[in-house]
Amino acid sequence: MTSAISVRHLTKDFKMGLRGLKLRAVDDLSLEIPRGQVYGLLGPNGCGKSTTLKIVLGLVAGTSGEINILGFPSATAEARRRTGFLPEAPYFHKFLTGRELVRYCAQLSGVSAIKMESAVEAALGLAAMTEAASRPIGTYSKGMLQRIGLAQAIVHDPELVILDEPTAGVDPVGAAAIGRMIRTMRDQGKTVVLCSHLLGQVEQVCDRVAIMDHGRLVLEGRVDDVLAQRDRHLMTIEALTPDARVAAESALAAHGARVRSVTHPRRSLEELFRELVTGSRDA
């Protein structure tokens, strides 16, 4: 089976001024993004990940290299018909209602008239936007804008969904909701490419990650593999008394092991926040 996205030796140079100076934004990047997974593309600002996404979507031409989406050259309409895209900080025509926007995007994506209404309602439902779909987009909160953006990206039931910073500016409850939507899409068999700075969220929802820096790929692999420290182990112990701790450390030392630290497990602030404000879902 072909990859969802196959990037081979991609390089992108931007011309700077009239003297022919070049800025290399992407440098000989090769990636294979497998189908049916959530794939995180990470990196600091200016590392080339947004440029890579734009080249993948045919919005910018690469200087050299080859990109295929689901087996089709990336610049073709056929590739884009199978792809949904949510840009960073999406902006839509404010005079449209959410439903009108999703319907318009469905028309542009070639959804047939027979399937139109069911496709629009399904996308609005997945994005939890059915209730607000009749309101003008100008009245939406940031979280709702992201969710309606997600709905327009998936209305034509694409096999590949590319999300550029889908939770930027969204509160943790809204971000968690978007995280759930991403997992739902994966469960439906879609491939999701997620570009984000929120490493905690990426860690939670992604199966694989790639990290870019200075236009180059510096790490790629399964999340569990790249984060695991195979030479260290974490035990969570209940009712550990000082005596029991000394005894455990002695027993471990007898086998050549050494306790490096003993701490209390913590919840993340995000988990605590979500627990406390579950009633305030993106009002």
Closest separation in Å from C-beta 197 to other proteins: 18
Q: Which two tokens stand for residue 260?
A: 């490096």
22 is an interface residue for other proteins by CB under 8 A: no
Nearer to other proteins, 29 or 223 (CB): 29
What are the angstrom distances between the C-alpha of 61 and each of 13, 74, 193? 10, 10, 20
Nearer to other proteins, 103 or 274 (CB): 103
Stretch that binds other proteins, among 87-95, 120-128, 193-201, 270-278 (CB under 8 A): 87-95
109 is an interface residue for other proteins by CB under 8 A: yes
Strands 83-86, 38-42: pairing is unpaired
* C-alpha–C-alpha distance, residues 49 and 26, integer Å: 8
What are the angstrom distances between the C-alpha of 176 and each of 85, 166, 220, 274, 283? 19, 11, 25, 8, 14
Q: Give me the 146-175 binding string for other proteins, x by CB under 8 A, dash otherwise.
A: ---x--x-----------------------
3 state DSSP class of 52: helix
For helices 113-126 and 98-108, give the axis angle rounded to 10 degrees: 130
Nearer to other proteins, 152 or 196 (CB): 152
113 is an interface residue for other proteins by CB under 8 A: no
* C-alpha–C-alpha distance, residues 15 and 97, integer Å: 40
Residues 68/213, Cβ–Cβ less than 8 Å: no
72 is an interface residue for other proteins by CB under 8 A: no
Closest separation in Å from C-beta 149 to other proteins: 8
Residue choice 22, 93, 180, 222 for contact with other proteins (CB under 8 A) = 93
Closest separation in Å from C-beta 39 to other proteins: 18
DSSP label at residue 160: E
Residue choice 29, 31, 43, 92 for contact with other proteins (CB under 8 A) = 92
Dihedral angle of Cα 40, 279, 123, 130, to the nearest 10 degrees? -160
Nearer to other proteins, 100 or 207 (CB): 100
Residue choice 16, 23, 59, 199 for contact with other proteins (CB under 8 A) = 59
83 is an interface residue for other proteins by CB under 8 A: yes
62 is an interface residue for other proteins by CB under 8 A: no
36: left (phi over 0), alpha (psi -120 to 50) or beta: left
Q: Please report, as residue ranges, which positions from 214 to 273 form the binding site for other proteins (by CB under 8 A).
A: none
Where on the chain is the footprint of other proteins (CB under 8 A)? 54, 57-61, 77-78, 80-81, 83, 85, 87, 89-93, 95, 104-105, 108-110, 149, 152
